[in-house]
Amino acid sequence: MDKEDEINKRLFWIGHASFYIKTSKGAIFIDPFRISDAIKIKADLILITHAHFDHCSKEDIAKIIKQESKIIASNGCLNKNDYNNIEVIEPGYKSNFDSIEIEAIPAYNIKNERLKFHPKENKWVGYIIKVDGLRFYHAGDTDFIPEMKKLKDIDVAMLPIGGTYTMNVDEAIEAAKMINAEYTIPMHYKNLLGEEDSMNAEAMFKKELGNAKIMSEIQKPTNHF
Protein backbone atom coordinates (compact mmCIF):
# COMPACT_ATOMS: atom_id res chain seq x y z
CA MET A 1 0.00 0.00 0.00
CA ASP A 2 1.45 3.40 -0.96
CA LYS A 3 1.34 6.38 1.38
CA GLU A 4 -1.63 8.09 -0.26
CA ASP A 5 -3.71 4.93 0.03
CA GLU A 6 -2.68 4.67 3.68
CA ILE A 7 -3.76 8.27 4.29
CA ASN A 8 -7.06 7.73 2.47
CA LYS A 9 -7.84 4.81 4.79
CA ARG A 10 -6.93 6.71 7.94
CA LEU A 11 -7.84 10.39 7.57
CA PHE A 12 -11.39 11.68 7.12
CA TRP A 13 -12.67 15.26 6.94
CA ILE A 14 -15.88 15.58 8.93
CA GLY A 15 -16.21 19.19 7.82
CA HIS A 16 -14.94 22.69 8.64
CA ALA A 17 -11.79 22.08 10.76
CA SER A 18 -13.03 18.74 12.11
CA PHE A 19 -11.15 15.55 11.26
CA TYR A 20 -11.16 11.92 12.30
CA ILE A 21 -8.01 9.79 12.19
CA LYS A 22 -8.43 6.01 12.30
CA THR A 23 -5.33 4.45 13.86
CA SER A 24 -4.13 1.12 15.19
CA LYS A 25 -4.37 2.70 18.65
CA GLY A 26 -7.95 3.91 18.32
CA ALA A 27 -9.90 6.89 17.03
CA ILE A 28 -8.56 10.45 17.15
CA PHE A 29 -10.94 13.37 16.65
CA ILE A 30 -9.68 16.93 16.08
CA ASP A 31 -12.01 19.88 16.77
CA PRO A 32 -15.23 17.83 16.53
CA PHE A 33 -17.98 20.04 15.12
CA ARG A 34 -21.38 19.29 13.58
CA ILE A 35 -20.92 15.58 14.12
CA SER A 36 -23.63 13.69 12.30
CA ASP A 37 -25.78 11.39 14.41
CA ALA A 38 -24.82 8.72 11.88
CA ILE A 39 -21.24 8.72 13.17
CA LYS A 40 -21.35 6.08 15.88
CA ILE A 41 -17.64 5.63 16.58
CA LYS A 42 -16.34 6.90 19.92
CA ALA A 43 -13.08 8.76 20.44
CA ASP A 44 -10.04 7.39 22.21
CA LEU A 45 -8.36 10.80 21.91
CA ILE A 46 -9.95 14.22 21.36
CA LEU A 47 -7.79 17.22 20.44
CA ILE A 48 -9.16 20.76 20.73
CA THR A 49 -7.18 23.62 19.17
CA HIS A 50 -8.95 26.61 20.72
CA ALA A 51 -12.04 27.93 22.45
CA HIS A 52 -14.18 29.18 19.56
CA PHE A 53 -17.54 27.41 19.24
CA ASP A 54 -16.76 25.90 15.84
CA HIS A 55 -13.69 24.15 17.27
CA CYS A 56 -14.62 23.53 20.89
CA SER A 57 -18.19 22.28 20.81
CA LYS A 58 -19.35 20.59 24.01
CA GLU A 59 -22.40 19.26 22.17
CA ASP A 60 -20.24 17.49 19.62
CA ILE A 61 -17.74 16.24 22.17
CA ALA A 62 -20.67 14.63 23.97
CA LYS A 63 -21.53 12.67 20.81
CA ILE A 64 -18.13 10.97 20.58
CA ILE A 65 -16.80 10.80 24.13
CA LYS A 66 -16.69 7.60 26.18
CA GLN A 67 -15.66 6.91 29.76
CA GLU A 68 -11.99 6.37 28.93
CA SER A 69 -11.61 9.08 26.27
CA LYS A 70 -8.59 11.34 26.70
CA ILE A 71 -9.06 15.05 25.91
CA ILE A 72 -6.21 17.44 25.17
CA ALA A 73 -7.37 21.05 24.89
CA SER A 74 -5.82 24.48 24.86
CA ASN A 75 -6.52 27.13 27.47
CA GLY A 76 -10.06 28.42 27.93
CA CYS A 77 -11.84 25.61 26.09
CA LEU A 78 -13.32 23.29 28.68
CA ASN A 79 -13.89 23.08 32.41
CA LYS A 80 -11.62 20.34 33.75
CA ASN A 81 -14.24 19.39 36.34
CA ASP A 82 -16.66 18.36 33.60
CA TYR A 83 -14.48 15.59 32.15
CA ASN A 84 -12.79 12.49 33.54
CA ASN A 85 -9.52 12.66 31.65
CA ILE A 86 -8.46 16.04 30.31
CA GLU A 87 -5.20 17.95 29.98
CA VAL A 88 -5.18 21.71 29.41
CA ILE A 89 -2.10 22.55 27.40
CA GLU A 90 -0.27 25.33 25.59
CA PRO A 91 2.29 25.59 22.77
CA GLY A 92 5.35 23.44 23.41
CA TYR A 93 3.37 20.60 24.97
CA LYS A 94 4.60 17.12 24.03
CA SER A 95 3.17 13.79 25.08
CA ASN A 96 3.00 10.15 24.13
CA PHE A 97 -0.48 8.70 24.47
CA ASP A 98 -0.41 4.94 23.89
CA SER A 99 2.28 5.33 21.18
CA ILE A 100 0.50 8.34 19.66
CA GLU A 101 2.94 11.25 19.80
CA ILE A 102 1.29 14.65 20.27
CA GLU A 103 2.98 18.03 19.99
CA ALA A 104 1.24 21.40 20.37
CA ILE A 105 2.30 24.08 17.88
CA PRO A 106 1.40 27.79 18.22
CA ALA A 107 -1.61 29.02 16.25
CA TYR A 108 -2.39 32.74 16.12
CA ASN A 109 -3.01 35.76 13.90
CA ILE A 110 -0.37 38.25 12.80
CA LYS A 111 -2.36 40.25 10.25
CA ASN A 112 -3.61 43.52 11.77
CA GLU A 113 -7.18 42.97 10.62
CA ARG A 114 -7.28 39.56 12.36
CA LEU A 115 -5.36 40.14 15.59
CA LYS A 116 -8.49 40.20 17.73
CA PHE A 117 -9.65 36.76 16.60
CA HIS A 118 -6.72 34.56 17.66
CA PRO A 119 -4.27 36.59 19.75
CA LYS A 120 -0.89 35.03 20.38
CA GLU A 121 -1.26 35.62 24.10
CA ASN A 122 -4.19 33.19 24.23
CA LYS A 123 -1.68 30.39 23.68
CA TRP A 124 -3.97 28.48 21.35
CA VAL A 125 -2.55 25.66 19.28
CA GLY A 126 -2.34 23.42 16.28
CA TYR A 127 -1.19 19.83 16.64
CA ILE A 128 1.39 17.49 15.19
CA ILE A 129 0.22 13.92 15.57
CA LYS A 130 2.59 11.04 14.86
CA VAL A 131 0.95 7.64 14.68
CA ASP A 132 1.42 4.47 12.63
CA GLY A 133 4.44 5.98 10.89
CA LEU A 134 2.59 9.09 9.67
CA ARG A 135 2.99 12.71 10.83
CA PHE A 136 -0.16 14.85 10.60
CA TYR A 137 -0.15 18.62 11.17
CA HIS A 138 -3.49 20.26 11.97
CA ALA A 139 -2.80 23.99 12.00
CA GLY A 140 -5.85 25.14 13.96
CA ASP A 141 -6.97 28.71 13.25
CA THR A 142 -3.87 30.63 12.29
CA ASP A 143 -2.07 32.93 9.92
CA PHE A 144 1.19 32.01 8.20
CA ILE A 145 3.34 32.32 11.30
CA PRO A 146 7.14 32.07 11.74
CA GLU A 147 6.87 28.82 13.69
CA MET A 148 5.72 27.06 10.52
CA LYS A 149 9.19 27.52 9.05
CA LYS A 150 10.53 25.05 11.62
CA LEU A 151 8.15 22.24 10.69
CA LYS A 152 9.84 19.27 9.06
CA ASP A 153 8.92 15.81 7.80
CA ILE A 154 5.15 16.37 7.71
CA ASP A 155 3.20 13.79 5.73
CA VAL A 156 -0.14 15.62 5.83
CA ALA A 157 -0.71 19.31 6.58
CA MET A 158 -4.27 20.54 7.18
CA LEU A 159 -4.33 24.32 6.63
CA PRO A 160 -7.20 26.84 6.90
CA ILE A 161 -7.83 28.85 3.73
CA GLY A 162 -11.05 30.71 4.46
CA GLY A 163 -9.63 34.16 5.11
CA THR A 164 -11.37 36.61 7.51
CA TYR A 165 -10.30 34.70 10.65
CA THR A 166 -7.34 32.76 9.23
CA MET A 167 -5.06 32.59 6.22
CA ASN A 168 -6.67 33.20 2.88
CA VAL A 169 -5.87 30.98 -0.09
CA ASP A 170 -2.77 32.90 -1.19
CA GLU A 171 -1.34 32.95 2.33
CA ALA A 172 -2.06 29.26 2.84
CA ILE A 173 -0.32 28.43 -0.44
CA GLU A 174 2.74 30.34 0.77
CA ALA A 175 2.63 28.48 4.09
CA ALA A 176 2.20 25.14 2.34
CA LYS A 177 5.26 25.73 0.19
CA MET A 178 7.28 26.52 3.31
CA ILE A 179 6.04 23.48 5.27
CA ASN A 180 6.55 21.24 2.23
CA ALA A 181 4.37 18.42 3.50
CA GLU A 182 3.91 15.41 1.29
CA TYR A 183 0.19 16.25 1.07
CA THR A 184 -1.58 19.52 1.92
CA ILE A 185 -5.31 19.59 2.66
CA PRO A 186 -7.33 22.83 2.79
CA MET A 187 -9.91 23.20 5.56
CA HIS A 188 -12.03 25.81 7.35
CA TYR A 189 -13.44 27.46 4.25
CA LYS A 190 -16.77 26.07 2.99
CA ASN A 191 -18.84 27.68 5.75
CA LEU A 192 -17.14 30.99 5.05
CA LEU A 193 -16.82 31.09 1.28
CA GLY A 194 -19.93 29.39 0.00
CA GLU A 195 -20.12 26.80 -2.77
CA GLU A 196 -18.80 28.76 -5.77
CA ASP A 197 -15.96 30.53 -3.98
CA SER A 198 -15.01 27.27 -2.26
CA MET A 199 -14.66 25.59 -5.63
CA ASN A 200 -12.54 28.48 -6.90
CA ALA A 201 -10.34 28.31 -3.80
CA GLU A 202 -9.85 24.56 -4.25
CA ALA A 203 -8.94 25.06 -7.92
CA MET A 204 -6.35 27.69 -7.02
CA PHE A 205 -4.93 25.49 -4.28
CA LYS A 206 -4.55 22.57 -6.69
CA LYS A 207 -3.08 24.76 -9.42
CA GLU A 208 -0.39 26.27 -7.18
CA LEU A 209 0.48 23.20 -5.12
CA GLY A 210 1.51 19.92 -6.66
CA ASN A 211 0.83 18.20 -3.34
CA ALA A 212 -2.69 19.57 -2.79
CA LYS A 213 -5.28 17.02 -1.71
CA ILE A 214 -8.94 18.08 -1.75
CA MET A 215 -11.05 15.97 0.57
CA SER A 216 -14.78 15.37 0.62
CA GLU A 217 -16.69 16.07 3.81
CA ILE A 218 -18.16 13.09 5.63
CA GLN A 219 -21.56 13.75 7.13
CA LYS A 220 -23.31 10.44 6.60
CA PRO A 221 -22.68 6.74 7.31
CA THR A 222 -19.78 5.17 5.44
CA ASN A 223 -18.09 1.85 5.81
CA HIS A 224 -15.27 3.12 8.04
CA PHE A 225 -17.58 4.27 10.87
Q: Averaged over 10-27, what is the pLDDT?
A: 95
The pLDDT assigned to 37 comes to: 83
pTM equals 0.95
Q: Averaged over 167-189, what is the pLDDT?
A: 97
Residue 225 pLDDT exceeds 70? no
Report how many domains make up the chain. Answer: 1
Residue 220 pLDDT exceeds 70? no
Kindly state whether residue 217 falls inside one of the protein's structural domains: no
The pLDDT assigned to 39 comes to: 86
Residue 30 pLDDT exceeds 70? yes
Kindly state whether residue 57 falls inside one of the protein's structural domains: yes
Q: Residue 16: give its domain's CATH number.
A: 3.60.15.10
Q: Averaged over 19-40, what is the pLDDT?
A: 93
Kindly state whether residue 49 falls inside one of the protein's structural domains: yes
**What is the domain range of residue 41?**
3-208
DSSP for the chain? Answer: --HHHHHHHHEEEEETTEEEEEETTEEEEES--S--TT-----SEEEE--SSTTTS-HHHHHHH--TT-EEEEETTS--GGG-SSEEEE-TT-EEEETTEEEEEEE----SGGGTTTS-GGG--EEEEEEETTEEEEE--S--S-GGGGG--S-SEEEEE---TTS--HHHHHHHHHHH--SEEEEES-HHHHHHHHHHHHHHHHHHH-TTB-PPPB--S--TT-
pLDDT band (50, 70, 90) for residue 218:
confident
Residue 87 pLDDT exceeds 70? yes
Kindly state whether residue 216 falls inside one of the protein's structural domains: no
Kindly state whether residue 190 falls inside one of the protein's structural domains: yes
